[in-house]
Structure 1
Amino acid sequence: MKILEHIAQDIIEKTSEIIKYPISITDNEGIIIGSTDKSRIGIFHQPSLEVIKKNVIVDCKSEIEKRILPGVSAPLKFNNNVIGVLGIVGEPREVENYVQLVKNQVEMMCQEAFRKEMVELKEKMVEMFVHQIIHYTENEDDRNGQILQSAKLLEFDLHTNRVCLLIDIKNFSETLSAKKTTDDLFGSFPLQYFQREVLSFLQLIFQENKDDFISFLSLERFIVIKSLPYPRSFTVLIESLNEKLQKINNFLESKYRLTACIAAGDVSSSLSGITESYHNAVKAMNIGMRFDPETHIHLYNERETLFRLLPKELTSNYQNKLLKLIAPLIQQDNYEILASTFIGFCKYNMNLSEASRNMYIHRNTIIYRLEKISEITSLQTSSFEHCMLLYTAIQCYEELKAEPAI
């Protein structure tokens, strides 16, 4: 068994220090794979085959030529199968009291090593599966067949309602760079340990049943594909996000002086729907961090987020038509003042008194600027339909300005 081979020498070194007797471990073919005397590793140990065959504890006699030392050998079992043999070197009457104790300890360590290996294997499968889902497209038959196979293997129910959550570590790259130059301990700290610790903590916070999948997308972004098995599951989840985020931030702040934010997509129950939920969570995170960076929870289905997304969702042809409407306004030297005044006027429900009070601008100044906009664009700021077009056109232009140059 490979697990025993991987941990045999480590077990030997830790155990022999305690009981003060030389120890050896052979595999199920009688080859020594761990020994207090490392020169014996790789030697065939004949008595081990007898122990394996009979599945009993055997006393060994000293045979110098065959390099067999006196002692007691006991079978090591895993899932009721003999996987190797433990040998304690010494006078059989003296060491037999230790055999069962050490045997139990070795078998427990094998079980723990196997459990850990299975957990890591599943996490790698989940990681691969999550990446398959977020890049899912309906017209790729080969890849989609692999996704369905992975879903079956992981017992991922495609018909359960789910929502994608993103957890982003805020300013992680900047903080990491700063710490590496000022903190020697942090500079040498392996990043995979950080990722493992955060992932384990998120599993404690979000993992409520086997249908909840949690993985990482990068060092600073984690994903939760949360199952919603009951009618109110989504509502309950959203209501609990503040508390969950507080726990996450307490953990991050105490250990790494970092904080996080959360974005949630919409609810879906199919592969394409989960993919869409992920992309919508990304949109919600981007919009939220740009327009409301002080807020730490961003929901895609909130009206403000949907409104912010509107310019991005329009076709390029439609965007161009909107931009033509305000082209004369964009050319004005005081465009920024006129545009911000109009946006504020819309934000405060097209109510002059409310806009004036909250924007600290005289009512007559707002009226003058709105009339100026109407004169330049031929769009009437007293008309809801015209205001809607004008607002969307300005948002399109601002989005265009914000895009990085290629």
Structure 2
Amino acid sequence: MKILEHIAQDIVEKASGILHYPISITDNEGIIIGSTDKSRIGIFHQPSLEVIKKNVMVYCKSKIEKRVLPGVSAPLKFNNKVIGVLGIVGEPREVEKYVQLVKNQVEMMCQEAFRKEMVELKEKMIEMFVHQMIHFNENESHVIDQIYQSAKLLEFNIDTDRVCLLIDIKNFSNRLSANKEGDDLFERFPLQYFQPEVLSFLQLIFKENKDDIVSFLSLERFIVIKSLPYPRSFSALMESLEEKLQKINTFLETKYWVSAIIAAGDVSSCLSGISESYRNAIKAMSIGLRFEPDAAIHLYNNREILLRMLPKELSNDYQNKLLKLAHPLIQQDNYDVLASTFIGFCKYNMNLSEASRNLYIHRNTIIYRLEKISEITSLNISSFEHCMLLYTGIQCYEEWKAESNF
């Protein structure tokens, strides 16, 4: 058994240091895989085969040859199957009392090592499963069976309502730089522990049943695919999001001096819905960071986010039409002033008094600028439909400008 082979020498060194008797461990073929005397590792130990075959302790009262020393050998079991042999070298009557104690310890360590290996294997399966789901394309019908087989293996119900949450670690690159420069924070909290520790904490916060999945997409981005089994599940999750984020940030700030932000996609069901919710969470995170950089929670269904997303959701042909409509305004030297005034006017319900009060611009100045815009674009600024077209055209231009600068 490979697990025993991996931990044998470590067990031997720890146990022999306490008992002060030489110890050896052989595999199920009688080959020594751990020994106080490291020169014996790899040697065939004949009495071990007798122990394995008979599944009983074997006592050796005297040295038979260089390879077989006096002592007691006992079978090591895992799931009721003999996987190796423990040998304690010494006078059998003296070492016999320690054999059962060390044997139990070795078997417990094998169980724990196996459990950890299974946990790691399951986490890798979940990681692959998450990537399959979030990158699923309906045109790739050949992978559907594979995904559903993985879901069955993980006891995960794909066809239920759920939402994707993205959790990004802020200032992580700064902490990495500090780590390279010898910051003592990361000496106390090694980087290799960061991801598993954060993942475990997020599982405590979000995992409430077997249909909830918490995994990572990169060192600084985690994903929660949260099931919504009841009618109020989504609203309850959204109401608790701020409290959950506060707990996450308390943990991160205390231990790693970093913090997190969250983006939520929309509610979905079925396989294609999961990938759509994931993409929408990415949009919410991207747009939220750009237009509300101080906010810690960005929701795809937030009206402000939906407004900001509008240009990208339009076809290229339609965007070009809107850009053409806004082009005369864009060409103006004072475009920024006119555009910001117009956007503010729309934001405050096309109400001159409200816009004047909130923009800190005199009412007459706003009227003058709006009339100027109307003259330049040949649009009726008192018409909601015309304002909507120009508003979207300006947003398309600003989106294009931001991407060009990026």
**Cα distance in 2 for residues equivalent to 1:167 and 1:404:** 27
Tell me which moved more, 315-324 or 60-69. 60-69
Report the Cα offset of residue 176 of structure 1: 2.1
**Paired letter, 1:169:** I
Shift of 1:405: 5.8
Q: Deviations over 1:323-361 (max 9, x none)?
A: 111111001000000000111111112111111111111
Report Cα offsets for 1:200-252 as digits up to 9, x if no partner.
21112111122111111111111111111222111111111111111111111
The answer (yes or no) to whether the contact 1:319–1:393 under 8 Å persists in 2 is yes
Aligned counterparts of 1:179 and 1:31: Cα–Cα separation in 2: 44
Equivalent residue number for residue 279 of structure 2: 279
Q: Which residue of 2 aligns with 1:41?
A: 41
Distance, in Å, in 2 between the alignment partners of 1:371 and 1:178 is 54
- In the alignment, is the contact (CA less than 8 A) between 2:322 and 2:389 conserved in 1? yes
Return the offset for 1:190: 5.5
Q: Which residue of 2 aligns with 1:238?
A: 238
- CA offsets, 1:42-63, max 9 Å, x none? 1121221222222222212333
Distance 1:24 1:142 in 2: 52
Matched, 1:53 2:71: no
Hey, what's the Cα distance between the residues in 2 that align with 1:320 and 1:201?
Answer: 47
**2:340 maps to 1:340:** yes
What is the alpha-carbon distance in structure 2 between the residues aligned to residue 332 and residue 157 of structure 1?
Answer: 56
Q: Give the alignment of 1:79-90 within 5 angstroms.
A: 79-90=79-90
Q: Which residue of 2 aligns with 1:113?
A: 113
Distance 2:97 2:219 in 1: 50
Contact 2:61/2:91 (CA < 8 Å) preserved in 1? no
Instruction: Tell me how far apart the structure 2 counterparts of residues 208 and 22 of structure 1 sit (CA, whole Å).
Output: 48
Are 1:353 and 2:353 matched, yes or no?
A: yes
Task: Name the CA distance, whole Å, in 2 between partners of 1:348 and 1:340.
Answer: 12
2:44 & 2:182 partners in 1: Cα distance?
Answer: 54
Q: How far apart are the structure 2 equivalents of 1:19 and 1:175?
A: 45
Q: Distance in 2 between matches of 1:188 and 1:232?
A: 43
- The match for 1:196 is 196
**Does the Cα contact within 8 Å between 2:51 and 2:85 map onto a contact in 1?**
yes
Give the whole-Å Cα distance in 1 for the aligned partners of 2:284 and 2:215.
19
How do 1:284-363 and structure 2 match up within 5 A?
284-363=284-363
Change (3 A) 1:188 1:401: farther
Unaligned runs of 5+ residues in structure 1 are: none
The DSSP-based 3-state class of the residue aligned with 1:217 is strand
Cα distance in 2 between the residues matched to 1:131 and 1:19: 49
3-state secondary structure, aligned to 1:332: coil
Task: For 1:17, give the aligned amino acid.
Answer: G
> Once the two structures are superposed, what CA deviation does each residue of 1:365-390 show, in whole Å capped at 9, x if it has no partner?
11111111111111112111111111
**How far did residue 178 of structure 1 move?**
4.1
Provide the identity percentage. 82
Bigger mean CA deviation after superposition, 106-115 or 51-60: 51-60
Work out the CA distance in 1 between the residues paired with 2:209 and 2:150.
Answer: 18
Measure, in 1, the Cα distance between the counterparts of 2:211 and 2:111: 25
- For 1:146 and 1:285, the matched residues in 2 are separated by 30
The residue aligned with 2:364 is 364
* Alpha-carbon shift at residue 278 of structure 1 (Å): 0.2
* Contact preservation (8 Å) 2:159, 2:271: no
Amino acid across the alignment from 2:158: L
Partner residue in 2 for 1:391: 391
Partner of 1:129: 129
Q: TM-score, normalised by structure 1?
A: 0.96
Q: Using the alignment, how far apart are the partners of 2:178 and 2:73 within structure 1?
A: 56
User: Any idea what SS the aligned residue of 1:26 has?
Assistant: strand
CA RMSD of aligned residues (A): 1.7
Post-superposition shift, 1:179?
4.4
List aligned pairs for 1:262-273, cutoff 5 A: 262-273=262-273
Q: Does 1:378 align with 2:375?
A: no
Distance 1:76 1:294, change over 3 A: same
Residues of 2 paired with 1:67 and 1:192: CA distance?
42
Question: Hey, what's the Cα distance between the residues in 2 that align with 1:321 and 1:214?
Answer: 43
Contact 1:61 1:68 (C-alpha < 8 Å) held by counterparts: no
SS, match of residue 326 in structure 1 = helix
Instruction: Give SS of 1:224's match.
Output: strand
> Shift of residue 25 of structure 1?
0.7
Deviates more, 1:26-35 or 1:394-403: 26-35
The one-letter code sitting in structure 2 at the alignment partner of 1:152 is K
Counterpart for residue 227 of structure 1: 227
Instruction: State which drifts further: 333-342 or 168-177.
Output: 168-177
Amino acid in the other structure paired with 1:193: Y
CA distance in 2, matches of 1:129, 1:147: 7
3-state DSSP of counterpart to 1:77: strand
8 Å CA contact 1:180, 1:186 repeated in 2: no
State the secondary structure of the residue aligned to 1:69.
coil
Secondary structure, in 3 states, of the residue corresponding to 1:42?
Answer: coil
The question of whether the paired residues in 1 share the 8 Å contact of 2:189 and 2:255 is answered with no
> How many residues are treated as equivalent by the alignment?
406
Which shifted more, 228-237 or 185-194? 185-194
Supply the distance in 2 between the matched residues of 1:80 and 1:49 (Cα, whole angstroms): 17
Residue-by-residue CA offset, 1:111-138 (whole Å, 9 max, x unaligned): 1000000010111111111111121111
Q: 1:60 to 1:229 in 2, by over 3 A?
A: farther
Aligned match of 2:161: 161
Q: Is the 8 Å Cα contact of residues 381 and 387 (structure 1) preserved in structure 2?
A: yes
CA distance in structure 2 between the partners assigned to 1:171 and 1:49 by the alignment: 58
3-state SS, counterpart of residue 62 of structure 2: coil
* Separation of aligned partners in 2, 1:40 and 1:360: 86
Alpha-carbon distance change, 153 to 13 in structure 1, aligned in 2, over 3 angstroms? same
Aligned position for 1:181: 181
